[in-house]
Amino acid sequence: MGDLSKNFNRSEFACRGEKCCGGSAPVDPVLVEALQDLRDRVKQPIHITSGFRCIKHNAAIGGAEDSQHTLGKAADVRVVGMSPVDLAEAAKKVRAFANGGIGLYGAWVHLDVRSDGPVRWRGV
């Protein structure tokens, strides 16, 4: 059991930067709810490769200056045995992601619950 939802713990969203915020993990409850919905749909564990990023860590890894990660509204995720394309398609069926951001990358999918309309992109 998770401490944020049935399957997700706050520690999974913690900033992974070094010498920055000490692993803080503010996370938007809408993001947690949407990820839980997605997990229930795909019936497999969702691995969060990047959740919250403090501004210092986000800058250190070359993240966008206005990254949803710095607001606790985004997670980069993967599901073992599921392609990023298939995961993104499943995410489109979750209302918060359908209205938010979905970005395809080589081995993971960026998902966010931004409030300024749907955005889609392919990363490098």
Render pLDDT for 100-111 as a digit per residue (tens, 0 to 9): 999 999 999 999
- Residue 104 and residue 20: Cα distance in Å, rounded? 27
Task: Give Cα separations from 30 to 23, 25, 98, 115, 119 (angstroms).
Answer: 21, 15, 13, 11, 17
- Residue 20: closest CA among 48, 55, 51, 44: 55
Which domains are assigned to the chain?
Answer: 10-119 (3.30.1380.10)
Report pLDDT digits (tens) over 79-99. 999 999 999 999 999 999 999
- pLDDT value for 2: 86
- pLDDT value for 1: 79
Kindly report the number of other CB atoms within 10 A of residue 18's CB atom.
Answer: 8
123 pLDDT band, cuts 50/70/90, is: confident
- Are the C-beta atoms of 37 and 43 separated by less than 8 Å? no
Report pLDDT digits (tens) over 7-51. 999 999 999 999 999 999 999 999 999 999 999 999 999 999 999
